[in-house]
């Protein structure tokens, strides 16, 4: 297949800068949120931001720092200590949708990331 027709990854499209902008916009909202804020130890916001950014970079075609540092994502296992119900899922999606709007990523990246976040957030529900 000619190079011009090969599929481009989300990472190729937005790079580290796009993921950094997105995740910063998301985590700016979390500390003051009445549902999500209490789930994060205040001193770990920078770590949480880095882990999510590195995970997304890995997941969408960039360097594998997340895997090198933390191993397999095991998302459900890593999030099991947190009570994630429908309300928490919906709030997470709401804040991430707001962050995506603020980040103003190219439409193909925005569309793919919104779908991924909505589906993955639903998958993470672990409490009725």
Q: Is the pLDDT of residue 69 over 70?
A: yes
pLDDT digits (tens, 9 = 90+) for 76-106: 778 888 899 999 999 999 999 999 999 999 9
CA distance 116 to 100: 12
- Summarize pLDDT for 106-118 with one digit per residue, the tens: 999 999 999 999 9
User: What pLDDT band is residue 1 in, cutting at 50, 70 and 90?
Assistant: very low
Between the CA of residue 84 and those of 67, 76, 105, what are the distances in Å? 24, 10, 28
Cβ atoms 120, 56 nearer than 8 A:
no
Question: What's CA 104's distance to the chain center, in Å?
Answer: 15
**Which tens digit of pLDDT belongs to each residue from 7-56?**
889 999 999 999 999 999 999 999 999 999 999 988 999 999 999 999 99
In whole angstroms, give the CA distance from residue 100 to residue 21. Answer: 9
Q: Which CATH superfamily groups domain 12-123?
A: Globins (1.10.490.10)
pLDDT at 3 over 60: no
Whether residue 70 is predicted with pLDDT greater than 70 in this model: the reply is yes
């Amino acid at each position: 297949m000619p190079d011009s027709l090969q599929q481009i990854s989300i990472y190729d499209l937005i790079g580290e800068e796009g993921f950094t902008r997105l995740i910063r916009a998301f985590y700016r909202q979390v500390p003051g949120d009445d549902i999500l804020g209490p789930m994060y130890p205040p001193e770990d916001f920078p770590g949480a931001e880095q882990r999510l950014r590195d995970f997304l970079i890995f997941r969408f075609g960039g360097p594998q720092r997340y895997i090198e540092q933390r191993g397999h994502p095991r998302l459900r296992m890593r999030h099991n200590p947190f009570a994630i119900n429908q309300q928490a899922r919906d709030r997470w999606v709401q804040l991430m949708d707001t962050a995506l709007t603020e980040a103003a990523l190219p439409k193909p990246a925005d569309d793919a990331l919104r779908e991924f976040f909505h589906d993955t957030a639903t998958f993470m529900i672990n409490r009725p």
